[in-house]
Amino acid sequence: MKTNELEPTNPEKLLVIGNGFDLACSLKSNISSYLDYAKNKFMPQNFAVILKEVQKYFDENQSWTEGGQTGQPRVESLIGNPNNPTARLLGNVISERINFWDLLFAERKNIDKEWNDVESEIKDVTEGLKTISIKELLMKSEYSLNSSQLKSYVLLLDILSKLRNEFPSNLVEDDNFLINELQSFENNFAAYLQEQFSSEIHSGYRDYLNESEELLQRLSGDSEYNILSFNYTQPYLWTNNEHLHTYKNVHGHIGRPDTDETSNIIFGIDSTDVSPNDSSYKFTKTYRDLFDSDASKSKDLLDSNINEIIFYGHSLSKADYSYFLSLFDHYQIYSNTNVSLTFAYNPYISGMLPRQVKEDQFKKLSSLLFEYGDTLEQNHGNNLLHKMILEGRIKIIPRFATHYAHWKYYLNKALASYLQGVKALFR
């Protein structure tokens, strides 16, 4: 087993990798795959039906009469009404494992199934509950809530209370309810990834390690390098990456299934526009990184000898802007002509042409550099990108994930074309 305590040398490159790296190496680490797993493991099989029926019940009973007095009922009264169909629809299903966030993400059918979309959902919830707490929401004197978003939360809390066999007001004991539920979601996702790595369940574990090793070699060009990973996996510790110096998983990592190591992964929102005095601050990645993770592992990560920062598989979403802006500040990318940026990408993205993938990459990096330029004293947002292009310090290049992924892409295209031809014969 490798460790990050390696011989002192001079790393030349910093690899910044995101979930696209794991996906390119055939690991199903996306939110849609996790939700499929949750549905088969512990989510109610008829969840969509339950949502529809409970929504109908709440809408039909907004004028429900309580205690002989006509008017709008308290939300708690509606949830506790014997006519509420939730318990009947759930049957005997009781689960401590299901949490508020599992239900929320499962409800959001229109979610793009990317982790930055999940982070946006977390932000939306914390923003939507700034003026009213979860507990206050349940205690409202009427169900005519001021947004469909709040109505959605009520329905999910109703279902969750039945799954926990606990009345909502007891379920939501304090202001830490949502953060505790998020920790439960993190534990569920960590367990899912660990199962992916179990040889008994996922026979492709060795393939994942081999593909990861190959991709890291392609990205580094066999140069000395460090890794800044936004993933929860650490394949570089279990493969032959002799040029790796040190690494950091900024949001924690899963414990290896064949050891007693515990998982310590976190989800959160970007802290750039969130005040430390804001109720949402405890959901920021900055707060949770400091509160939950081991900062000592970042030692020597930003080595002064690094002359190229290579991004791969990261969505470059605003949820992680604070990290990127700090990184650019450290290396003073506007004035330091010794540091270049490379945005490598896998051109084989399902549903997109390679040209479209490249255009998408350019838009994302343009937004990122414009945002960073605006933080500089001279307000260089407009010319930072142009300056780096003229100086030859920025590149957008395709990097085929692996030989395996390369051929799989073309085989899938050939198969799709063949099936279309077969269908045409029978029209």
Residues 30 and 114: their CA atoms lie apart, in Å, by 7
Residue in the block written with tokens 């990108």:
385
Report the pLDDT value the prediction gives residue 150, as an integer from 0 to 100: 84
Q: What is the mean pLDDT of residues 130-146?
A: 74
Query: Which residues touch 386 (CB under 8 Å, ≥6 apart)?
Result: none
User: How sure is the predictor about 6, in pLDDT bands with cuts at 50, 70 and 90?
Assistant: very low
- The three-class DSSP label of residue 244 is strand
Report the pLDDT value the prediction gives residue 113, as an integer from 0 to 100: 57
Q: How many CB atoms within 10 Å of residue 324? A: 19
Report the pLDDT value the prediction gives residue 291, as an integer from 0 to 100: 53
The tens digit of pLDDT for each residue in 38-83 reads 988 888 888 989 999 998 988 887 654 444 444 455 777 788 888 8
Report the pLDDT value the prediction gives residue 149, as an integer from 0 to 100: 84
Residues 79 and 167: their CA atoms lie apart, in Å, by 9
Q: What is the mean pLDDT of residues 269-294?
A: 76
Residues 228 and 14: their CA atoms lie apart, in Å, by 7
Q: Whole-model pTM?
A: 0.84
Report the pLDDT value the prediction gives residue 143, as an integer from 0 to 100: 64
Residues 203 and 208: their CA atoms lie apart, in Å, by 10
Q: What is the DSSP string of 154-188?
A: HHHHHHHHHHHTS-HHHH--STTHHHHHHHHHHHH
Q: Distance of alpha carbon 182 from its chain centroid, rounded?
A: 12
Average per-residue pLDDT for the chain: 81
Report the pLDDT value the prediction gives residue 426, as an integer from 0 to 100: 60
The tens digit of pLDDT for each residue in 383-409 reads 888 999 999 999 999 876 554 554 454
Residues 167 and 344: their CA atoms lie apart, in Å, by 51
More confident residue, 125 or 148: 125
Residues 116 and 318: their CA atoms lie apart, in Å, by 8
Query: Which residues touch 326 (CB under 8 Å, ≥6 apart)?
Result: none
